[in-house]
Structure 1
Amino acid sequence: MQTEDRDPAGQSSVHEYDYIVVGGGSAGAAVAARLSEDESVTVALVEAGPSDVGLDEVLVLEDWMNLLESGLDWDYLIEPQAHGNSFMRHARARVLGGCSSHNSCIAFWPPREDLDEWATGYGCAGWESEAIFPLIKRLENNSRPGDHHGHDGPVRLRDVPAEDPCGVAILDACEQAGIPRAKFN
């Protein structure tokens, strides 16, 4: 595969790679990192946005909502909904690091039933939860203890203390209304 780019003087150069990974979010970066472990192959990681290094507007977690509708977000509109919520935006980061750098840094494992349905109902052999979960665990570098988390992978996950007064007040109010506080993720 080839890519072509131009230097500041407008000169064109062509580069050849064994693999081109499009998207520098957590998934793309992890795929590129794993592929590049084989020294016999060349890998290009292509990201539409800039690096987040030194960009406080990306790195200050409390300010993530200011990234919406900015040049650092794709600003996708959701599909119109029959019963409301038709004007919501789906934040998708346009920055190296993707939504791990932006979008409030929330990580989810895919639901077991979805993976199993893909495998059995849609012919996606190899996508069963029992096959996928060890791969996800291998990606994780999770600060939580326990064998059900990965601790040595390239995707660093950590807990952020619940210090936001508004968020804590909402959790307290829910608890007072009988909705139990549960550990997330």
Structure 2
Amino acid sequence: MSTDAAISEANTDAKRAEVQDLFSRTFQGIAPNAIPAVKDDRLYAPLVLRYHDIETGQLAGAALTCRSEVAVGMTMMQRLEYAPVLDRHSVLDLMAVAPAFRGRGIGSALVREMEDRLKERGVRIWFGNATRDLETARLREFYARHGFTVLPDGQPLPDLLGRSWVLPTAEQPAFFFYKQIKKS
């Protein structure tokens, strides 16, 4: 049975609330509105995927990728520096697999499906970071296995698409990762 068969998009506020609940149970101190509301999709261009266990119907994993805070902020301030690359980047913001379902390839299936959908959208750069409170050694290996360039601890994210994507006031993560998504 293919793991991809259980993946669907959270394209309603009710489905996104289910994802928010999984993230809230997985990550300590996550904002109650970490998943954008559907009404804000034009601004954030989110892709929210859910993985339901076929046998139990339980939400086993989920992921969110969307426009960066920097790009959204510039757009809201009507500054045009990021306009040419607004739809060419995405940030893998959150991804979680419920503890009972780990080790089954669900995270890998979510990453593959997200990359395919981002490619269809015309995204060319996909990046993110791992915070210090996570299992960084395991995550470093995971992202490298999926073709991301994983930067050493403390190394800043380089300019991608000719732009800086990290807020200067942001807390530094354990590490950044990024990849170029190639056109088909």
TM-score range, shorter chain: under 0.3
**Larger relative CO (CA 8 A, sep 6+): 1 or 2?**
2
- Give the number of the structure whose alpha-carbon radius of gyration is greater: 1
More strand by share: 2
Instruction: Tell me the TM-score normalised to structure 1 length.
Output: 0.26
